[in-house]
Amino acid sequence: MRRARQALELAEALEILRRHTHGVMALVDEDGEPYAVPLSYVVLDGEEGLRLLFHCARSGHKLHCIEHEPRVSFCVVGEDRIVPERFTTCYRSVIAFGRARVILPGEVGTAETCEVEEALAELAGKYSPGIDSAEEIASALSRVAIIEMAVDRLSGKQAKELMARSR
């Protein structure tokens, strides 16, 4: 990062990831064309390291891109306030860099199906808290895939105007 003084602490970057509901995943397709797509997500931080989970259809451009090039990035803007009189923007943002893999459910009880069910339960817990999602998850298994992004590196940055507030 060119302006290292504006870097967010890891805890601040993780808080932005956990608190917000969507971000943009950047991928590259087989022709070298960039592709950026907004996605909802959930953060898991455990024994397997920091991971982001996304749900999507079982086919589509995202999956083709990941098959071609699993290295991806995911950006979340945590704050974006324009200050017109100062010709600037007060912002906080986080970029995760890592590798994506696609998980497709198989037969009931298989490891992949369990992974997808668990991922969908995590997503439902974030976006529909307190609502029983078991029936919705069971009905979605035939048409859904999960993208798991293993985060290798996390970078957060803030506007210099916000530095005093976070330190």
Per the domain annotation, does 166 fall within a domain?
no
How does pLDDT run along the chain (167 residues), one tens digit per residue?
555 667 888 999 999 999 999 999 999 999 999 999 999 999 999 888 999 999 999 999 999 999 999 999 999 998 888 888 888 888 889 999 999 999 998 877 788 899 999 999 999 999 999 999 999 999 999 999 999 999 999 999 887 666 655 54
Per the domain annotation, does 167 fall within a domain?
no
Indicate the helix (H) or strand (E) that contains 35. strand 34-40
Instruction: Name which of 25, 1, 155, 11 is nearest 93 in CA terms.
Output: 155
- Show the domain range for 140: 4-161
Q: How far is CA 55 from CA 67, 124, 144, 161, in A?
A: 16, 11, 7, 36
Contact assessment for residue 160 and residue 6, using Cβ atoms and an 8 Å cutoff: yes
Per the domain annotation, does 58 fall within a domain?
yes
Per the domain annotation, does 119 fall within a domain?
yes
| pTM confidence score | 0.89
Rg of the chain (C-alpha set): 18
Indicate the helix (H) or strand (E) that contains 11. helix 10-19
| Structure confidence at residue 47 (pLDDT) | 85
Per the domain annotation, does 93 fall within a domain?
yes
The CATH number of the domain holding residue 127 is: 2.30.110.10
Contact assessment for residue 113 and residue 106, using Cβ atoms and an 8 Å cutoff: yes
**Number of folded domains that form the chain:** 1
Instruction: Name which of 4, 66, 74 is nearest 39 in CA terms.
Output: 74
| Structure confidence at residue 2 (pLDDT) | 55
